[in-house]
Amino acid sequence: MDKNTQSFNYFQKPFQQGLISLITVNFNGLDDTCDMIESFRKFETYQPYEIIVVDNGAQQRKGDYQQSEAEEIQLRYPDVKVVQNINNGFAGGNNAGLKVSEGEYLFFLNNDTIIKEPILHTLVKRLVSDPQRIGGVSPMLKFASQPDTLQYAGFTP
């Protein structure tokens, strides 16, 4: 290889894990939100992370529940940051989560997503491999009802 040619290695820089803020928006989706949190905790191996749930003005639950969805999430997961917010839409909810996040990296995740394997280490490693060119990455998504069908191929330059 001559001096004008360089070998490119995506993962040539030392990798240091920083805090990831997982931000999700809940609107009348308590069961979905809890399923997402449970699946994330079951499969994700990356540390450290924080989970932020923005309750986007969910209505009071009926039946056996005496508290709001935000209060129920806080009771089930005391270590999760719960932000009670008026409904400013999906983007507004994510922005409310962003305001309380402490992470070096942000991971926006829909509350109806189910994690089936660790993903954060791979995403962060790729993100930090070339900070001059890469500002964001996203994972591949499959439909829960049709797990062999690709919903989104992901974007990882």
Show the domains of the chain with their CATH numbers.
Answer: 20-118 (3.90.550.10)
pLDDT tops 90 at residue 65: no
Rounded distance between C-alpha atoms, residue 121 and residue 70, angstroms = 29
pLDDT tens-place string over residues 78-93? 999 999 989 999 999 9
* Percent of the chain predicted with pLDDT > 70: 83
- When pLDDT is averaged across residues 121-139 and rounded to a whole number, the result is 90
pLDDT tens-place string over residues 90-129? 999 999 999 999 999 999 999 999 999 999 999 999 999 9
Q: Residue 100: how many CA atoms within 13 Å on its side-chain side? A: 18
Q: Whole-prediction pTM value?
A: 0.84
Q: Look at 15-19, 48-52, 104-108, 147-151 and tell me which has the smallest mean pLDDT.
A: 15-19
Query: Which residue has better confidence, 14 or 127?
Result: 127
* Angle (nearest 5°) at CA 100 between 66 and 15: 125
Q: Give the number of other Cβ atoms within 10 Å of residue 53's Cβ.
A: 28
SS3 sequence, 77-110? CCCCEEEEECCCHHHHHHHHHHHHCCCCEEEECC
